């Protein structure tokens, strides 16, 4: 349901942008940043790649604005749910951290 005829995008350009972003993601992993920084950078790069795929391969770039907002809504809901559930993951007691007693082998019968 496009608003008007549009010129087809150059899919090879989009492929090269996705390839460059993938190489940047690999570089970020091996740069030696802190875990938080790596996580934030990788999420931002993955979001950029997802936006490129959605805009050009799903043709959302050429659709009416309402359809684009409908496509973005699940992303907003998923982000909200992640931030709502994140504190629960930090509240779990990790019993194995700092355990000094070695685990014994099971008894033979």
Q: How distant, in Å, are the alpha carbons of 20, 66, 75, 85 from that of 78?
A: 27, 19, 5, 11
Q: Is the pLDDT of residue 104 over 80?
A: no
Domain ranges, ordered by start, for the chain: 11-88
Mean pLDDT score across all residues of the chain: 81
Q: Mean pLDDT, to the nearest integer, of 48-55?
A: 86
Q: How far apart are CA 34 and CA 94, in angstroms?
A: 22
pLDDT of residue 27: 95
Q: Give pTM, 2 decimals.
A: 0.58
Q: Which residue has the higher pLDDT, 85 or 26?
A: 26
């Amino acid at each position: 349901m496009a608003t008007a005829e549009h010129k087809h995008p150059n899919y090879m350009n989009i492929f090269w942008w996705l390839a460059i972003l993938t190489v940047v993601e690999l570089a970020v992993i091996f740069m030696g940043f802190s875990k938080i920084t790596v996580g934030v950078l990788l999420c931002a790069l993955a979001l950029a790649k997802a936006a490129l795929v959605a805009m050009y391969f799903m043709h959302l770039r050429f659709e009416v604005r309402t359809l684009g907002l409908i496509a973005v809504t699940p992303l907003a809901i998923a982000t909200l749910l992640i931030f709502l559930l994140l504190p629960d993951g930090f509240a779990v007691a990790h019993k194995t951290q700092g355990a000094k007693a070695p685990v014994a082998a099971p008894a033979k019968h």
